[in-house]
Amino acid sequence: MNKKSDSPHPVSANNPCPFLRALVATGKLADDREPLAKVAAVVATTARAGDGRPVLPRKAVFAIASVANGCSPLSLVATQWNGLQLNALRGGPLDKKGVGSGILNARGLVDAKEVSRLQGFAKEKSNADGSSELGLGLAELRAYMDANFARAAGRRRLIDRTLMLGEWPVLLKVMGKDGPGGRYLGLQDVIDLFKNRHFPERMNKRLRTGA
C-alpha cells in the first residue's frame, strides 16, 4: 500500500503536534473535536505498538489534553464537555509558539532547512541486527532541545524548555529503537512522521495485527 492511501485524511495546519497529526492523517482521530477519553485511548494504544510496548498512561494523556485548548475556566469546561479540538491547538497553552524545532511552519509545511539542521545533531547508531543508521539518542535530543531553546533567546518563555520534554523524549519512548548503544530515534522515522504523517511500518504492523 502506498503512502498516499495510508494517509488520506487532511490535517489542519493548526495542529502542530507531529504525533497527533499522524493519528489524524491515518484516520484514528478526527481533524476536529474528539472526546478526551478517546484521545487518551488512541494515544496509549498507538504508543503500545512501539518497540518494547511503551506505556503512555491514559490518565496523564487525558490530563494533558484537557488543557491543550486553553486553561481558562470556560475553555476547560468546553473541552471536558465537547472534547479536544485538534484543529485549534496552535497558539494554545502547550504550543511553544515557534520556540522549538521549527520543522513545521505555521502553515503545517515542513521546512527543509530545519530538517537538515536536525540531521546535523544525528549520529550513526547501531541496530541489534548489526546494521546502522543515523539516529538521535537521549544525549543528542537533549543537545538539540538545548540548541533550540538557546536560539530563541529574547522570545522564549521558561516553560518552553519544559514543554519540549513532552515532544522529543516521548517520541524516543514511543518510536525509538533499542540498539547496543541504547534507545534512539531513527532519523528517517522522524522525517517520515513530520513529512508524511505516518508511523514506522513496524508500528503500523503491530497496530493492524494487535501483536
| 9-43 residue pLDDT tens | 999 999 999 999 999 999 999 999 999 999 999 99
Cβ proximity of 203 and 50 under 8 Å: yes
How many CA atoms, within 13 angstroms, populate the side-chain half-sphere of residue 152? 20
Q: Looking up cell 522525517, which residue turns up?
A: 191
Which neighbouring-strand residues pair with 141? none
Distance CA 136, CA 119 (A): 9
Q: What's residue 129's pLDDT?
A: 83
Residue spans of the domains in the chain: they are 3-209
List Cβ neighbours of 69 (8 Å cut-off, separation of 6 or more): 75, 78, 79, 84, 85, 88, 89, 92
DSSP SS3 for 201: helix
What pLDDT, in 10s, does the model give residues 61-73? 999 999 999 999 9
This prediction's pTM:
0.91
132-137 vs 123-126, strand pairing mode: antiparallel
pLDDT at residue 6 in the model: 47
- One-letter identity of residue 176: G
Residue (of 103, 143, 105) closest to 123 by Cα position: 143
Whether the predicted pLDDT of 4 surpasses 60: no
Q: Please report which helix (H) or strand (E) contains residue 126, including its range.
A: strand 123-126
- Give 143-202 pLDDT, tens digit per residue: 999 999 999 999 999 899 999 999 999 999 999 999 999 999 999 999 999 999 999 999
Q: Which residue has the cell 485549534?
A: 88
